[in-house]
Chain A
Amino acid sequence: MNGLLLTFIVALVLAMFFIVFRMSNLVSILRSKNKKNEEVDISTNNFHAYLFLLLPLAGTIWAFWYASRHMTLWGQPEASVHGAEYDWLSKIAHVIIILMFLVTNTGLFYFAYKYRYKRNNKATFYPDNTKLEVVWTIIPAIILAILVFTGWNLWRKVTKDAPENAIQIEVVGKQFNWIARYPGKDGKFGGYNFRYTDDINELGLDFTDKNVNDDFQATELVLVKGKPIQLKIRARDVIHSVSLPHFRQKMDAVPGQPTTMWFIPTKTTQEMREELKTNPEYLKPDPSTTKGDPADIKARWETFDYEIVCQEICGRGHFSMRMRVVVLDEKEYEAWVAKQEPFVVKNKEYVLEAVKRQMKMKQNAGQAFVENVKNTD
């Protein structure tokens, strides 16, 4: 019934529009019959010229006002060594492009306004000017060169090999969550093979490798403040992407092609929360806490957390593929590590079964290899 009514109303409105259109059409035909020559309708033409001046101006003012109010933290607060440099470079680059944007758009709209049609006016025949062309080829080239070199500098810093003392953590993406693995006391990761994967051994750990013995897994990524962190990234099924917006880092997780990234966190989660207390944006309540009991309402700084955001489309649950990231200071971190139980200790019975299967698989593969070699004779 409602649908029918809605359709009827829409049809009515459309019919009204159509009648107005037809009437204005007929009127304009009558009017144009009185005019002898088809010439430019000056008042309409001016109207467009004025709008070209006014609307962009209004829009620009709004954009600047909005940015000055809400973009104080460049979107997300930064918390890594190169993050501060990133923000600085990003701001410089944005200042430059905003200037380019303003200068060129101003030229465009001002000319669109100023040189609107005027009766008895004639346009200037001005087909080319090599000097001008050269000037505005060279100027953008110089500006771009500066941006390229500053960007290149930072890029090399971010992508160079991780320092030797970096804490290594493996991050594995799967539909639809992340798993972290720490190398344990020996500082070495045990091997893995995707064929060993099952519901318990989610990372496909190779239990015949003794380095696996002290590896432990976590559902949160726990990092140390002030120490280089190297993430060894892989994916189990489809491409995911480890995005760490607060650390200004991102790297795809590709099945079959492990990737890596590193950075140095500069603020613990706790320190960051304290810092955000001073920002009016973060004093506002967190919308996810406002639905229940008013007593549970928390400010955004209280619920702040570092996070891994999956940034490459990976299927149905892509939008919820989040991992909490916790940054601790060194003492807290060591205490946390001490509490962790290696995977093989946690799942003793399972591992004893699995290792038999894995050995069998290896044996089969070995036999197949021997046979292959024999057949090549």
Chain B
Amino acid sequence: MATAVAHAHDVHTHDEHHEHHHETFLTKYVFSTDHKMIAKQFLVTGILWAFVGGLLSILFRLKLGFPEMDYTWLKPILGKWVTGDPGQGQLDPEFYLALVTMHGTIMVFFVLTAGLSGTFSNFLIPLQIGARDMASGFLNMLSYWFFFASSVVMAASFFLDGGPAAGGWVVYPPLSALPQALKGSGAGMTYWLISMTLFIVSSLLGGINYITTVINLRTKGMTFSRLPLTVWAFFITAIIGLLSFPVLFSAALLLMFDRMLGTSFYLSDIYVAGQALDHTGGSAILYQHLFWFLGHPEVYIVLLPALGITSEIIATNARKPIFGYKAMIGSMLGIAVLSFIVWAHHMFVTGMDPFLGSIFMFLTLIIAVPSAVKAFNYITTLWRGNIRYTPAMLFSVGLVSLFISGGVTGIILGNNALDIYLHDTYYVVAHFHLVMGSASFFGMMAGIYHWFPKMFGRMMDEKLGYIHFWLTFVGVYLVFFPMHFIGIAGFPRRYYEFSAYAAFRDEVYLNLNQFISVAAVITFGAQLIFGFNFFYSMWRGRKATQNPWNSNTLEWTAPLEPGHGNWPGQIPFVYRWAYDYSKPNAEKDGFTDFIPQNVPYSMTPHSNLPHENEMIALEKEEMLPHDTTLELAKLAKKKELTA
């Protein structure tokens, strides 16, 4: 224990020394090692990518909703990718595939992995566990700059002659290995692989840091059983990423070998463009196993942080403890473990052994149980709450709904018999866009609205937030719900148009596609409101107070705009879990409806539960004599008493 105090002391002196250190623009905003600045770098990059990814989806949604539309007006931007005479300009079919591919890649990796996990793990882990910074600020900085380099390479691939990668975001070989088969599989695919490799490096550097920080740098009293669920989620996410991203790297590496060195890991018996290739003995399915070994955990890499953020926000704004804190952790751990042994449910119709298919169905459907537990726990947290609707809370409730609506169809798709018909139809598109895409996106939005005051010391505009939420919430459902109908009708994914098939010429579905496209445009438009709100509020927003949401977690005890090192003096100690909201008899102890984590049990004799009273003795012996921040906690209490 003494070492922890000594450590805190050391950092303290170091910090004072630090204040004299002159920060240049370059060290403060560009090559910063401060986790808060790195988080903001991830966030802003993520938001920019989200707009790019969204815009790409609008381009192909227009084609799907209005197959006859004239694309000539986009010729100045898209150039040769718009073909045909003026007045009948059409999107090039290969460019359509490139759009679909890049939309998926950008959204899954750059927005929902880097933008979500990168931002909030970086920002919240040190602030919520009471640490000065990440375990390694330098690796953390590298993590962002590898992501940035990866972004640059991916962005550059748009300007290649053959266009960016176009084989779908899963880039299955042989299609992605053969430039003869697809233009995008030329230089575009090389760029894609380089970019993803850089991205994997970034992810691993970040992940190692998150794990180390959570394990080693928790402040005194912050046991694992007192960690906010956000940190639990980031911690588990980082572990999943650390175990699965290297497998994607190996998949990518072998694909590079096949493309550049003429090896045959994935290629065999191929006759393409009038030529029999030399490759023999490879297995195209091997790639899919490797890819989905990351690909499926990736779903939870994207989703768990969003669920963690939501847990925190729902508890805070319902003014209630999160229901079933331990069950929430248990279900996250369960999901994490199971996420590694369900990957082949993406491959039921690849010709794999039917027996293997059965095994993977069993495992897949088991994963629905912890997910269901999470949903029930969120709902019970709302029960008999006193709910305030901040924009963050709206997005969190929206997330739970999307998580359920998208989750239940997973039960259908995980059932291999039913998946035969629905595999690679719009039903799948609807499923994962709701449960993974939209739900995680809502988590990201909720996080931004909730922690914006902590990030920038200012509030985002609430009214714009409300408008943004309702347009997005309704929009997302209008876009993705009808896709179930289209999916049940068997419409395949990644189709440029459907007119070749008698089965798909029903005008009902044409109208539905049109409806979806209009809804998509409106939903995208609503994001511009957010973009404006975000950047405007950064500089001109209303000044925030120190703890605007009356929240319990540690980050709100830090100064309004924390400097490098987060707390000017000693780091606060932690005495209780993060969810003492609306505790009975808290008024008698001088608190309103929340008791922050840094308040000792000895200060709240009336509201303590029996087992908490037992902790008082321990506190007095081990913690209180060393806690110099206690005066602050007492002051906070007095302030509330007078208020």
A329 at the interface (CB under 8 A from B): no
- Counting chain A CB atoms within 10 Å of each CB, the highest count among B175, B267, B358, B497 belongs to B175
Are A315 and B323 within 8 A (Cβ)? no
Are A252 and B350 within 8 A (Cβ)? yes
Kindly state the separation between the CA atoms of A96 and B377 in the bound complex, as whole angstroms. 21
B461 at the interface (CB under 8 A from A): yes
Are B284 and A255 within 8 A (Cβ)? yes
B584 at the interface (CB under 8 A from A): yes
Q: Which of B172, B365, B379, B581 has a CB less than 8 Å from the CB of A107? A: B379
User: Given contacts A70-B485, A93-B412, A243-B490, are A237 and B272 in contact (CB under 8 A)?
Assistant: yes
Chain B residues, Cβ within 8 Å of A238: 174-175, 178, 181-182, 272
Are B358 and A286 within 8 A (Cβ)? no
Are B320 and A123 within 8 A (Cβ)? yes
B302 at the interface (CB under 8 A from A): no
Are B424 and A311 within 8 A (Cβ)? yes
A100 at the interface (CB under 8 A from B): yes
Q: Which of B351, B411, B501, B582 has a CB less than 8 Å from the CB of A97? A: B411
- Name the residue of chain B whose CB is nearest to the CB of A104: B404
Chain A residues, Cβ within 8 Å of B545: 38
- How close is A372's CB to chain B, nearest CB, in angstroms? 16
- How close is B629's CB to chain A, nearest CB, in angstroms? 25
Are A136 and B372 within 8 A (Cβ)? yes
B256 at the interface (CB under 8 A from A): no
B569 at the interface (CB under 8 A from A): no
Are A136 and B490 within 8 A (Cβ)? no
Kindly state the separation between the CA atoms of A100 and B409 in the bound complex, as whole angstroms. 10
Are B276 and A197 within 8 A (Cβ)? yes
- Name the residue of chain B whose CB is nearest to the CB of A284: B507
Chain B residues, Cβ within 8 Å of A357: none
A147 at the interface (CB under 8 A from B): yes
Indicate with 1 or 0, residue by residue over B67-81, a CB within 8 angstroms of chain A CB atoms. Answer: 000000100000000
- Counting chain A CB atoms within 10 Å of each CB, the highest count among B361, B383, B418, B425 belongs to B418
B494 at the interface (CB under 8 A from A): yes
Are A254 and B276 within 8 A (Cβ)? no
Chain B residues, Cβ within 8 Å of A97: 408-409, 411-412
B144 at the interface (CB under 8 A from A): no
- How close is A321's CB to chain B, nearest CB, in angstroms? 8
B66 at the interface (CB under 8 A from A): no
Chain B residues, Cβ within 8 Å of A112: 382, 387, 397
- How close is A139's CB to chain B, nearest CB, in angstroms? 8
Indicate with 1 or 0, residue by residue over B489-504, a CB within 8 angstroms of chain A CB atoms. Answer: 1101111111111110
- How close is B470's CB to chain A, nearest CB, in angstroms? 7
- How close is B640's CB to chain A, nearest CB, in angstroms? 12
Are A239 and B174 within 8 A (Cβ)? yes
Chain-B contact segment, one of A152-160, A162-170, A221-229 = A152-160
- How close is B587's CB to chain A, nearest CB, in angstroms? 9
B324 at the interface (CB under 8 A from A): yes
User: Given contacts A25-B461, A89-B418, A250-B349, are A199 and B274 in contact (CB under 8 A)?
Assistant: yes
Are A115 and B384 within 8 A (Cβ)? yes
Q: Which of A85-132 contact B (CB under 8 A)?
A: 86, 89-90, 93-94, 96-98, 100-101, 104-105, 107-109, 111-112, 115-118, 121-129, 132
Q: Which of B270-306 contact A (CB under 8 A)?
A: 270-272, 274, 276, 280-285
Q: Which of B356-376 contact A (CB under 8 A)?
A: 357-358, 361-362, 365-366, 368-369, 372-373, 375-376
A377 at the interface (CB under 8 A from B): no
Kindly state the separation between the CA atoms of A56 and B285 in the bound complex, as whole angstroms. 42
Number of A-B contacts (CB under 8 A): 356
A49 at the interface (CB under 8 A from B): yes
Are A151 and B542 within 8 A (Cβ)? no
A76 at the interface (CB under 8 A from B): yes
Kindly state the separation between the CA atoms of A239 and B481 in the bound complex, as whole angstroms. 29
Are B507 and A194 within 8 A (Cβ)? no
Chain A residues, Cβ within 8 Å of B319: 122-123
Kindly state the separation between the CA atoms of A315 and B184 in the bound complex, as whole angstroms. 9
B378 at the interface (CB under 8 A from A): yes
Indicate with 1 or 0, residue by residue over A278-318, a CB within 8 angstroms of chain B CB atoms. Answer: 00010010111000000000001001110101111111111
| Chain A: interface residue total (CB-CB under 8 A) | 125
Are B349 and A136 within 8 A (Cβ)? no
B477 at the interface (CB under 8 A from A): yes
Kindly state the separation between the CA atoms of A153 and B500 in the bound complex, as whole angstroms. 35
Chain A residues, Cβ within 8 Å of B28: none
B97 at the interface (CB under 8 A from A): yes
Chain A residues, Cβ within 8 Å of B382: 108, 111-112, 115
- Name the residue of chain A whose CB is nearest to the CB of B504: A309
Kindly state the separation between the CA atoms of A151 and B276 in the bound complex, as whole angstroms. 41
B531 at the interface (CB under 8 A from A): no
- How close is B467's CB to chain A, nearest CB, in angstroms? 10
User: Given contacts A86-B421, A248-B421, are A322 and B500 in contact (CB under 8 A)?
Assistant: yes
Q: Which of B269, B361, B366, B421 has a CB less than 8 Å from the CB of A250? A: B421
B568 at the interface (CB under 8 A from A): no
B510 at the interface (CB under 8 A from A): yes
Q: Which of B270, B461, B492 has a CB less than 8 Å from the CB of A243? A: B492
A140 at the interface (CB under 8 A from B): yes
User: Given contacts A197-B271, A248-B420, are A126 and B351 in contact (CB under 8 A)?
Assistant: no
Q: Which of A56-75 contact B (CB under 8 A)?
A: 56, 59, 63, 66-67, 70-71, 74-75
Chain B residues, Cβ within 8 Å of A105: 401, 404-405
Kindly state the separation between the CA atoms of A101 and B500 in the bound complex, as whole angstroms. 35
A335 at the interface (CB under 8 A from B): no
Kindly state the separation between the CA atoms of A154 and B358 in the bound complex, as whole angstroms. 11
Q: Which of B274, B325, B409, B481 has a CB less than 8 Å from the CB of A63? A: B481
- How close is A87's CB to chain B, nearest CB, in angstroms? 9
Are B365 and A148 within 8 A (Cβ)? yes
Kindly state the separation between the CA atoms of A322 and B481 in the bound complex, as whole angstroms. 27
A257 at the interface (CB under 8 A from B): yes
Are B488 and A124 within 8 A (Cβ)? no
Kindly state the separation between the CA atoms of A325 and B408 in the bound complex, as whole angstroms. 34
Kindly state the separation between the CA atoms of A56 and B172 in the bound complex, as whole angstroms. 38
Are B424 and A151 within 8 A (Cβ)? no
Chain-B contact segment, one of A40-48, A179-187, A347-355, A363-371 = A40-48
B206 at the interface (CB under 8 A from A): no
B61 at the interface (CB under 8 A from A): no
Are B268 and A100 within 8 A (Cβ)? no
Are B274 and A257 within 8 A (Cβ)? no
Are A101 and B593 within 8 A (Cβ)? no
- Name the residue of chain A whose CB is nearest to the CB of B167: A313
Are B421 and A288 within 8 A (Cβ)? no
- How close is B185's CB to chain A, nearest CB, in angstroms? 9
User: Given contacts A101-B405, A128-B326, A158-B417, are A45 and B502 in contact (CB under 8 A)?
Assistant: no
Chain B residues, Cβ within 8 Å of A204: 271
- How close is A102's CB to chain B, nearest CB, in angstroms? 10
- Name the residue of chain B whose CB is nearest to the CB of A249: B420
Are B415 and A254 within 8 A (Cβ)? no
Q: Which of B270, B362, B417 has a CB less than 8 Å from the CB of A255? A: B270
User: Given contacts A118-B386, A241-B349, are A128 and B324 in contact (CB under 8 A)?
Assistant: yes
Chain B residues, Cβ within 8 Å of A199: 274
- How close is A158's CB to chain B, nearest CB, in angstroms? 6
A7 at the interface (CB under 8 A from B): no
A21 at the interface (CB under 8 A from B): yes
- Name the residue of chain A whose CB is nearest to the CB of B320: A123
Are B350 and A254 within 8 A (Cβ)? yes
A333 at the interface (CB under 8 A from B): no
B385 at the interface (CB under 8 A from A): yes
B18 at the interface (CB under 8 A from A): no
- Name the residue of chain A whose CB is nearest to the CB of B463: A24
Chain B residues, Cβ within 8 Å of A148: 361-362, 365, 415
Given A66-B485, A94-B412, A144-B368, 5 other A-B residues pairs in contact with their CB atoms under 8 A: A71-B488, A123-B581, A204-B271, A237-B271, A256-B269
Question: 18 interchain pairs (CB within 8 A)?
Answer: A24-B463, A86-B417, A94-B412, A124-B385, A127-B322, A129-B324, A140-B369, A144-B365, A144-B368, A158-B417, A160-B354, A241-B349, A245-B421, A248-B421, A249-B420, A254-B351, A311-B425, A315-B175
